[in-house]
Amino acid sequence: MGEETDKEKQLSTSELFLRMPDAVMEPDVLSVLRTYVREDGGKPKTAVEELSESFVGYAHMASLVCKWLQQSEDPSRTPGAEATPQDEAFFLKGVIQERFDPEKLDSVLRSKEHTPAWVGGLTSDRIGRQLIYDLSGVHRNSLMLNFAVQKILADGHDQEVASIGSNLAGYFGVYHRTVATRLKKAVGATVKELEALTSELKESVCQGEHTYVHAQHLLSHLSRTANGSIFRRISQDLESHAARLHEGAVWRLQPSFQQQSSMEEPNSQAVACIVAEILANPTEKKYQGSFPAAPVEQLANLYNSSNPPSFFPARHPKVLSILLKALFSAQAISNQKQRETIISILSKIVSAQDDRPSGGDLDLSRTQETAISINAALELCSEAVKGKSMSPAAQEAAEQLGGVFGLRLAHIPLVMITDPHLAKPFFDEPKSPLYDPSV
């Protein structure tokens, strides 16, 4: 009796499905028909009658209305105005986006032993794929949408997915693959191509903390490869862009991205944290004389020790910019002790040749020479600010200081009254520890 009752319920359920408006258009109609006839004991004649009577033709009516809209489009509308979308796909897309329920869709994937056939039809069509991308940007945790995007990637539409940008950042597997695809293209790219790739990465990487951290970890690893200079440049561009969006939080993440070989040296973790504090200094945007004296003093104590840690973290362009501005800007600090501390750090950062990570030695032989040159540049700047004219000897001395620092000195007032050669960066010098042949 119980089995018969269950069979009657299944038969009733199948018949209710067949009576639904436009049931013949449903993706599962064939499966329901097989169950109705073979397992539930339903009659084929009844099934055909139910499907015929329940046919309304909503899809056909939608196509007809779209044709009417196209034919009735006002030919006198304002030139250049956007025409009303004429195809049914546009209106259907709007209905789907309005009524989309990710939980119901995910339950379909969980309840089926095989992927529903309509998924393949949707992912093979350009309009269908665009619908998936739009829905994924709103519903970031949908199992079915994640599966659909992965299928699109598997079908070879990597370029299309990569062009979507930040909409797919919520799906980590998809996000990782698109970022990796772009980074592969960076090797061998022209300057313009690299700029375009970096712009695309900024859009997708810098929207959230987890996406930014993951991308920087990838770049940190790639920076140790043969083409490391390319990835260091991308890393710094992403860092600057993220800092404009999220300010100090970005700089405090800096210690997480240091090269592992550097972090294994004594006190390197401490240096990374101090550098992060200097990077988070809010005065960089509009330098007004406020200077991160405490962390700079801590950094000096570590670098002046008998076994100084790695200089790599302190070679960040923003750190060098802060130190230079403290010496050479119009709001330069006047405290002599702080100036000496900055000169001491700066001379070591830009001139030290540190081969310890590869089993070599630390060479500080150029430190004293660099410190003397920095002091000489300060003296020349002081004379220039006072309005004194420079003698030929002073002019020659100034030109010889052009490549001392390992940094661009274009903001030094001295450049305004002497040869532009002063602005030549020290990293153009092959012997410099900051030399980068790609620059």
| pLDDT tens-place string over residues 24-67 | 888 788 888 888 888 777 888 888 888 888 888 777 777 787 77
User: 10 Å Cβ neighbour count for 392?
Assistant: 7
Ranges 62-76, 80-94, 112-126: which has the least confidence: 80-94
The dihedral through the CA atoms of 114, 116, 120, 123 has a sign that is negative
What confidence score (pLDDT) does residue 434 get?
Answer: 38
- The listed range with the strongest mean pLDDT (11-15, 109-113, 379-383, 425-429) is 11-15
Q: How far is residue 251's CA from residue 316's CA, in Å, rounded to a whole number?
A: 11
Q: What are phi and psi of 75, to 5 degrees?
A: -70, -15
Instruction: Sort residue 87 into left (φ over 0), alpha (ψ -120 to 50) or beta.
Output: beta
What confidence score (pLDDT) does residue 437 get?
Answer: 40
Over the stretch 339-370, which tens digit does the pLDDT of each residue have? 899 999 888 888 888 887 777 888 888 888 88
Over the stretch 201-251, which tens digit does the pLDDT of each residue have? 888 788 777 788 888 888 888 888 888 889 988 988 888 888 888 776 777
Q: Which of 135, 58, 147 is nearest to 101 (CA)?
A: 135
Q: Per-residue confidence at 168, pLDDT binned at 50, 70, 90?
A: low
E strand or H helix at 377, and its extent? helix 367-385
Residue for token digits 């056909």?
A: 60
Q: What is the pTM of this model?
A: 0.54
E strand or H helix at 363, and its extent? strand 362-363
Alpha helices, DSSP H, located in 139-258:
143-154, 158-162, 172-186, 191-205, 209-222, 228-246, 248-252
Average predicted confidence (pLDDT) for the chain = 75
Q: Per-residue confidence at 166, pLDDT binned at 50, 70, 90?
A: low
Q: How far is residue 298's CA from residue 382's CA, in Å, rounded to a whole number?
A: 28
For 234-281, give the DSSP string. Answer: HHHHHHHHHHHHHTHHHHHTGGGGS-HHHHTSTTHHHHHHHHHHHHT-
Tokens of 345: 């750090």
What confidence score (pLDDT) does residue 76 get?
Answer: 57
Taking residues 272-291, what's their average pLDDT? 68
Taking residues 413-418, what's their average pLDDT? 35
Using CA atoms in the order 18, 148, 126, 59, what is the torsion angle rounded to 10 degrees? 10
